[in-house]
Every structure is written in structure tokens, then in C-alpha cells.
Amino acid sequence: MKKLNDLWKKGKEFLGVEYPIMAGAMSWISNHQFVSAVSEAGGFACLAAGNMEPVNFEKEIDKTRETSDKPFAINLITIAPNYREHLEIAIAKKASHIVFAGSFPRSTEVKLAKQSGAKVMAFASNNSIAQRMIRSGVDGLMLEGSEAGGHIGHVSLTVLLQQVLFNVKDIPVFVAGGIATGKMMAHLLLMGASGIQMGTRFILTDECRVNPKFKEVFLKARARDAVATPAVSSELNVVAVRALKNKGMNEFSELQMELIPQIRNKEITKKDAQLRVEAFWMGALRKAVQDGDVDRGSLMAGQSVGLVNKTETMKELYAEMISEAEQTIEEIYHNLSD
């Protein structure tokens, strides 16, 4: 355990938890119950703001603190209509960690968050953006490869590791996308990561309160079933979403084809069209997660879904990840000493 503790020491200290194994923010999933369950297992979770009504968002923060005294992050979507109010609430509530997602935060927003006492994290899709975020004052970076589920960038984690992780030494860098085993985590820590983030594997924990049909689909899915949504035209400029193929994904293509001529004919603004797209995904995700509509709902999943074939408790997940990581690190050290 000592070698593992040495490798992720920076991540543990930054997050203030026993294990810097993060559960990413998942809309309709990462609520106060889920976040508290991760925290009590020794990990670190992100409370998903999404586009929640501000009053409900404030209540979720309070409920999380009532059920666990452990640190957690508030994940803010910078392109969400309620983003500004969410940021104000996070600052007023003295969040210990704030994660900016969706797009890149302004330096003034980073400054406001830091002035409240929060440790600030942001995503970086290449080295120049990583350096820009560092200059703006972020305390940590998140690299998320296109293998991940939900809204994704265009670059795989293996490339991001080489572009960013190998070039950033001064602040913690956490990595995500396609990770589902302790073996992979061990190798990423040896490469210099301060910790990892997963989403898909957490779906299949007992404490994740999604519709049973949602979990059943995940158990049966293969890696190649988790595909990125097609962009019909650059005019709409949608952010790709990785999810399991179903009728809902076809309906998304149809929505794009409906919106594009409306933009051309100036019947709708590009911004309003993009809001329609986001509203589609939020509604479709809720259908799947809460109602169990796995045909037309959104089954957001990373390609690591092909590596997950069982349900387990949160504590079992962490125990297995750590055991595998320790064994892998010992094997690597043994091989290097021969």
C-alpha cells in the first residue's frame, strides 16, 4: 500500500480523501445520495448541477452535507442557462471544490471561486488550453478522453496523456475516459496522474439509484456499442455525446435535421437551437435513468461499459480497484528489479 500511497499522495491531499478515485458528475444520477455513498466509501464525488433549478441545487448541496461530512466537488456546466446562479450558490455555500465543465471558465470566474476558499478544477483538451487554465489560476486539471460517456471532446485519453499530463508538473492532474480497472489506474498513476475519474463503472454499484432497466442494458453492452453522436452539420455546432445506440440516438439526428433549416431560414437563433439540443439530452437522459425508457431515452455510457460485467457495492468497487492497483504496481516494481 505504501507504493500506491506515494503515487497518489498529491491527489489525496488535493481532494482531502482516502482514495483519489473520483466519481464524475452525471446528471440525474450524481445527487446527494450518490455523492454521500462515494464519500463514505473513501472516494471523491462531484455533485452534478446540470441545469437544475437554483433553489433545488441549493437544497442538494445542503442535503449532501447533512448525509456526509466528507469533501465533495460541485460540478458547474458553464454553458447551462442557470450557470451564473449556480456559481453564485457554490460560492455562497463555500464549496470545498468547484469543477468547471462544459466549456472553459473565464479567469474572473476562477478568481471568484478561489476567493471563496474553493479549490478549482477545469478540463483541458490540449496543452495550450491546460497552460491557459493554469494561468487563469486553476488548482487542478482534469483530462477526459473521448472514450468517456456523456458529452465528450475529440481526443482520446492516450493522446491527452502525452499532450498534457507529461508536460504539467506543478498542479495535480486527474484523468478520465475508458478507465474501469485497478490495473489501468496503476499504470496511469505511474505515468504521473494524481488520481482517476470514472463514471460508467459507478452506474453498476448498488448505491447508484437508477432504474434497473438502465443497469441491465449496461451489463449486456459491449465497448463498441457506446458510440459518439453524429454531427449532421457544423452549422449547429453540437458537442458530441457518447451513449449506447438506440432509437433515441436516431431521433437526435432527426432533431438536428429539423433545426438546421430553421437556423438557415432565421426561424430560430443558433443559440436557441443549441439549447434545444441540450434540452433533448437532459430529457432523454431522465427518461432512461428514472423511467427506464431504454429505447428512446439517452443511455450515456463510456466505452469502458465493455469492461463492466457485474453489479457490486461501492465498498466492493473501491476494494477491488485498490487491490488490483497494488498487485499491478508490485509486479511492475518486481519486473524492473530483475
pLDDT at 126 over 90: no
Answering whether pTM is above 0.85, one says: yes
The one-letter amino acid code at 240 reads: A
CB 229, CB 280: distance < 8 Å: no
Alpha carbons 294 and 214: distance in angstroms, whole number: 6
Query: Burial level of 336, CB count in 10 A (0-12/13-18/19+)?
Result: exposed
The one-letter amino acid code at 159 reads: V
Of 57, 53, 47, nearest in space to 27 by CA: 47
Instruction: Compute the CA torsion angle 235, 239, 242, 244 (nearest 10 deg).
Output: -50
pLDDT at 19 over 80: yes
What band does 7 get if pLDDT is binned at 50, 70 and 90? Answer: very high
**Of 37 and 274, more confident:** 37
Task: Please give the domain boundaries of the chain with CATH numbers for all domains.
Answer: 2-209+309-337 (3.20.20.70), 222-300 (no CATH)
Coil, helix or strand at residue 119? strand
Please give the distance of CA 218 from its chain centroid, rounded to a whole number: 17
Q: Name residue, grid cell 475519474.
A: 197
Of 15, 242, 241, nearest in space to 142 by CA: 15
pLDDT at 38 over 90: yes
pLDDT tens-digit profile of 201-224?
999 999 999 999 999 999 999 999
pLDDT tens-digit profile of 219-271?
999 999 999 987 777 788 778 899 999 999 889 889 989 999 999 999 999 88
Given this model, what pLDDT does residue 75 score?
97
Given this model, what pLDDT does residue 232 score?
77
Alpha carbons 199 and 305: distance in angstroms, whole number: 10
Q: What is the mean pLDDT of the chain?
A: 94
Neighbours of 160 (CB within 10 A): 26
Q: What are the residue ranges of helices labelled H in the chain?
A: 2-7, 9-15, 32-40, 54-67, 83-92, 107-115, 127-136, 157-163, 182-191, 200-203, 212-220, 247-264, 270-286, 314-337
What band does 330 get if pLDDT is binned at 50, 70 and 90? Answer: very high
Side-chain-side CA neighbours of 228 within 13 Å: the count stands at 16
**Of 22 and 1, more confident:** 22
CB crowding 286-307: b at 16 or more within 10 Å, else e: bbbbeebbbeebbbbbbbbbbb
